[in-house]
Amino acid sequence: MTKDEELQYHYSKILSLLGEDPQREGLIKTPERVGKAMRFLTQGMTQSPHEILRSAMFKEDYRQMVIVKDIDFYSLCEHHMLPFFGKVHIGYIPNGYITGLSKLPRVVEVFARRLQVQERLTMQIKECIQEALNPLGVIVVIEAQHMCMQMRGVEKQNSLTTTSDFTGAFREAKTREEFMQLITHGR
């Protein structure tokens, strides 16, 4: 049996355990669709974010802050396998090398397309950029809504969770403040 067939088999069993009839007209293809969706939503497990960054590294003497903000992301909480989603803001100060700007959202996508927690997602993005580019500093801020808090449990629809992590030059309060000012400007 292929992995896709196994996923379909198990999702069919889950439907039965939930009291549904997997042979009901509306559910016949559901195990196949859910299996494909889960493979898509966790495809980051087989991708290398370091390779993505290194594929577009350019020698450059620029040593000021580079920011890519409002990067949309969608992930699955590893505790309930429910979605969490929001915005990622990334800043780094080059130290001889820059990367293509589209590569930062791609790194976010790779780490988000795994079973995750927001805290780890924040650290993984920061560590990957630090390791691949060796900049003078990296900062990552994530603002997210968690369906596990909105649809079940405490059911707080308007809650927003913010996490941040930083290295190097961003350890200085003045540098962090400049970054925060730049990502909130215009809101």
Catalytic residue positions, numbered: 77-80, 118, 146, 148
Which residue, among 106, 97, 177, 107, has the nearest Cα to 135 in the 3D structure? 97
- Which residues are CB-contacts of 78 (< 8 A; sequence separation ≥ 6)? 115, 116, 117
Question: 30-47: b or e for each residue (b if 16 or more CB lie within 10 Å)?
Answer: bbeebbeeeeebbebeee
Report how far residue 47's alpha carbon sits from residue 27's, in angstroms, rounded to the nearest whole number: 31
